[in-house]
Amino acid sequence: MTRPRAAGRRAALTAALGLAVLAGIACPAAAGDDPVPPGDDGKLPAPSPVAGRPRAADMAGTYSGLIVREASGRGLPPAVADAVAFVESGYDPRAVGAVGELGLMQVRPSTAAMLGHRGPAEELLDPSVNVRFGVAYLAGAWKLAHGDLCRTLMKYRAGHGELRMTARSVDYCRRARDRLAATGSPLAQADLPSVAPPRAGMAIAVRRSRIGDGPSMTTRSVRSWAEHVARVRAVEARIDRIMGGG
């Protein structure tokens, strides 16, 4: 019989990886696109308390030493990494995002792999592993943004190649600044940028996708579903290997 704890971990990880597969079908990356960022592009609500889980305020001190050590080693202000952990998960190391993000800093397995992680996805639920790769990606964004807080956070949540300040990125920075202010960091004084206008041609691209340029939606959907089934089976096989049969 499968042990309850192992079964629970397996179910959570299967759901996370399965949702990541679905997200890949809904929004396939174009060749040459920037690697998938740790945070979900569609995730906006601030962390909310979950029954039976400690509040963020109670958990902050638990991981502060780990965050400071990793951030300092990469030339990143620790307060920025702390704010990201607060916004992303409320310091919940067991958090699983809508499209497969995992842990304290909501790192996607694909991002961790890009940064050198070679272990199973469930290792990202280990705070030390999660913070290592989350801070590595965040520090890269900090350097690319030349220390601009809001642009750093934009690149963390939407990808290192992102240049446009969307409403979601502005909201993310606002919440991070609130956290920085609560901890007394001078970085809370960073200017909040305006939302950039939509890209030229975006409306045309959306309209064309709706009227069905190229293969019919039926053909495309059937092909996507077949690919999805194959990916889900691969995920299930991988989970079996990770969990050692339960």
Q: Which residues are catalytic?
A: 88
- Give the residue numbers spanning the domain of 177: 4-243
Return the closest-CA partner of residue 36 out of 176, 179, 157, 191: 157
- Look up the CATH number of the domain holding residue 15: 1.10.530.10
Q: For the chain, what is the total number of helices (H) and then of strands (E)?
A: 9, 0
Return the closest-CA partner of residue 173 out of 45, 67, 83, 48: 83
Give the chain's domain count. Answer: 1
**CA dist., res. 105 & res. 91, Å (int):** 8
- Identify the pLDDT of residue 176: 98
- Identify the pLDDT of residue 16: 52
Residues 6+ apart with CB under 8 A from 5: none
* Amino acid, single-letter form, for residue 15: A
* Amino acid, single-letter form, for residue 97: G
Q: What is the pLDDT of residues 55-111, one digit of tens each?
A: 665 677 789 999 999 999 999 999 999 999 999 999 999 999 998 999 999 999 999
Q: 114: how many CB neighbours lie within 10 A of its CB? A: 15
What is the mean pLDDT, run by run of 10 residues, along the chain of 246 residues? 48 52 38 44 42 58 93 98 97 94 97 97 97 99 98 97 97 98 97 87 45 44 57 59 54
Indicate the DSSP class of residue 3: -
**CA dist., res. 105 & res. 90, Å (int):** 9
Kindly report whether the global pTM for this prediction surpasses the value 0.75. no
- Identify the pLDDT of residue 235: 57
* Amino acid, single-letter form, for residue 72: S
Residues 6+ apart with CB under 8 A from 32: none
Q: 236: how many CB neighbours lie within 10 A of its CB? A: 12
- Identify the pLDDT of residue 208: 43
Q: 235: how many CB neighbours lie within 10 A of its CB? A: 18
